Structures are given as structure tokens and as C-alpha cells.
Amino acid sequence: MRERLLRLVPGLVVSAGFTVWFVARAEWAAIGVALAGVDPAWVLASTVVLFSEFLIRALRWKVLLTPLAPYARFDRLFVATVIGMSLNVVLPFRAGDIARPWLGSRETGVSFAPLVTIAILERIFDIFGLVCVMVLMSFLLAGTTDDLIGQLQWVASAFGAVTGVGFAGFVWMAFNEQRTRGLYTAITSRMGPVGGRFQGLFDGLVGGLAGIRDRRLLVQAALLSALHWFNGSLSLFLLFHAFGLPLPLAAGCFTSVMLAMGVAVPQAPGFFGVFHVAIENALRIWGMDPAPAQAFAVLFWAVSFVPVSTLGAIFWAREGLRLADVGKR
């Protein structure tokens, strides 16, 4: 327990530092004026578009689960997805990333290990989706010479290379199960009695990769990942209209990329501080004054986390779940 608490320290320090920095610099009176002037219709549109990402995530999960649980119910996967994200908002250690496979196992009867593999695979698909947004951003910003934008385009290339290598490794394992099993067995056999315990891990890993052996399912999952990340950019673009900002879709893509990089660093639950500073700095690059940029960051944080956390709490209570139950069959 002490070690787990110590692992919280870096994230708490990062979040506290960025939160203090944001709060100390924020022009609260001007932020209040900016928030009072937003168009609620555009805020609602932005919220609906952003929340639809959980429908897309649940659908992608169903696609990847097809070989293992072809009759998995979409509505139940959606509930598990929302609960998982809401737990990531309020609990440390990305607890929702464990709760979601557990809920999926509880719902479908598929063992936990393959579902963890699918969750890891989804992270790679997420990086692919982010790369798609970066490519769209690069296309929309063609001819722009700004140094930071140039750096982001370089990062897009690096992300794409890393994603390609990682994804190629998973695909190779999926289509060469016997060869991979032989290599794995040869390695674990040298570990004595302990090696036998790792065989179950391999079976779970290979089982989770079943969804990408079917090229049709692979393409569907990739397209859904691209759509999911485009949704985030579109939601930002709609929220620009709520503030009356004449910013293009490229600015939404740019802000989405900056935000993804920001929230990837270790931080406390709730994404306070880092989230706000990342958005503020992204918008100031596009010429926004500090106060409107800070107001936008505050509102987009609310749009991002309040609806899913509220619905997640409702689902959690309706399912009669307890934290102590997570991980139990």
C-alpha cells in the first residue's frame, strides 16, 4: 500500500503545480464575463458530439470482441465503457482501465486476460486515431511555417512510426500464433516450474488478438478509432462557435493534439491543471487572449468530464457495484 501511495506522488505534484499555475494566472472576472456570453446551443452541440465518443468506443469494443463474444450486447458494453471512464476521472492509477475489462468479463463470460489484451490493443488504435487527426491537421495547415506546428508535424511522424511498429507486432502475433507459441514456450521452458505459470498469460494475449485476425474487423476498428479522435476535434470546433471565435477546424485538430499530449503525462485523477494549461496554450498560439482561452479551458473540461462522470455514477449505482468487487468473478 505504501508503494502504491508513493506512486501517486508524481501525478499529484504535476497536477498541483499546473493547477496552482493556472489558478494564480487566471483572470477570473474576465473568465466569468466570457462564460456568461457563450451560446448554450453550441455548448450542447459540442457536448453531444464529444459524448458520442463513448458510443464509438463501445462499438469498437464490440467489433474487437466479435470472435470471442459474438453476442455481446452493445448497450451493456456502453455501460461498462462509461463506468470505466468515470472511474478514470475520480480514482488514481487509471482504475477504470481495469474496471472496464472486469465488467466486460462479467457481462460476456470471456476470461479477464483476453479482455486486458483487447484494452491494450485499443490504446494502439487510439494512437492510430490520434495520428489520423495529426495528418488531417498537417493537411489543413499545409504551407504554415510556425515552428511549433512544424514540431507537431514531426511528432505526428514519430507517433505514426511507433504505432506502426507496435501494431505490426500485434498483427504478426495474431496471424502467426503457432510460431509465436513455440518461441514463447522455448523461452518459458528455461524458467523451470515458474515458466508454466506464464502460459496462461500467453493464451490470454493470443485470445485478445483474435479480433484483428479478421481483416474486416481490423479495418472497422481502425475506422472507428479515426472517427473517435475526429469527434474530439469537431467538439472543440463547435465550442469555438459557442464563444464566437472565428477559428478553423485546423485549430480544433491542433488543440486536440496538444491536449492528448498534455494528459498523457502522470497526473492526479480529474485531469485538473494540465488539461487547462494545455488548452490555454494551444489557443493562445492561435491568437486568443488569455482570459477567453482560460474560460474555454474551464468550459471544455466541464463538457469533457461532467456528463460522463454523472452518467457513470448513475450506471454504477444501478448496477449495484462496489469497488471491493472489482477484479472478482
Task: Answer whether residue 89 shows pLDDT above 90.
Answer: no
In this structure, of 48-62, 70-84, 288-302, 314-328, the range with the lowest mean pLDDT score is 314-328
Task: Answer whether residue 198 shows pLDDT above 60.
Answer: no
Task: Answer whether residue 312 shows pLDDT above 90.
Answer: yes
Q: For residues 204 and 259, give the distance between their C-alpha atoms in angstroms, rounded to a whole number.
A: 33
In a domain, 53, yes or no: yes
* Burial status of residue 43 (CB atoms within 10 A of its CB: 0-12, 13-18, 19 or more): buried
Return the pLDDT at 6: 56
Q: Which of 294, 306, 303, 300 has the alpha carbon at shortest distance from 18? A: 294
Tell me the mean pLDDT in the region 307-322: 90
Number of domains in the chain: 1
Q: Quick one: cell of 226?
A: 479515426
CB of 252 closer than 8 Å to CB of 234: yes
**More confidently predicted of 1 and 16:** 16
Task: Answer whether residue 182 shows pLDDT above 80.
Answer: no
Q: For residues 211 and 111, give the distance between their C-alpha atoms in angstroms, rounded to a whole number.
A: 15
In a domain, 146, yes or no: yes
Instruction: Tell me which residue range forms the domain holding 141.
Output: 37-325
In a domain, 31, yes or no: no
Return the pLDDT at 148: 58
Cβ atoms within 10 Å of 307's Cβ, excluding its own: 17
Return the pLDDT at 174: 67
In a domain, 17, yes or no: no
**DSSP string covering 91-134, please?**
SSTTHHHHHHHHHHHHHH---HHHHHHHHHHHHHHHHHHHHHHH
Sign for the CA dihedral angle at 8, 9, 11, 15 comes to positive
Return the pLDDT at 24: 87
Q: pLDDT class for 328, splitting at 50, 70, 90?
A: low
Cβ atoms within 10 Å of 301's Cβ, excluding its own: 16
In a domain, 26, yes or no: no
Task: Answer whether residue 245 shows pLDDT above 60.
Answer: yes
pLDDT in tens, 136-171: 887 787 666 566 566 666 666 666 666 667 667 767
Return the pLDDT at 4: 57
Instruction: Provide the CB-side half-sphere exposure for 327 (13 A, CA).
Output: 5
Q: For residues 88 and 96, give the distance between their C-alpha atoms in angstroms, rounded to a whole number.
A: 5
In a domain, 145, yes or no: yes
In a domain, 10, yes or no: no
Sign for the CA dihedral angle at 136, 141, 142, 148 comes to negative
In a domain, 313, yes or no: yes
CB of 46 closer than 8 Å to CB of 239: yes
Task: Answer whether residue 231 shows pLDDT above 90.
Answer: yes
Rounded to the nearest integer, the mean pLDDT of the chain is 82
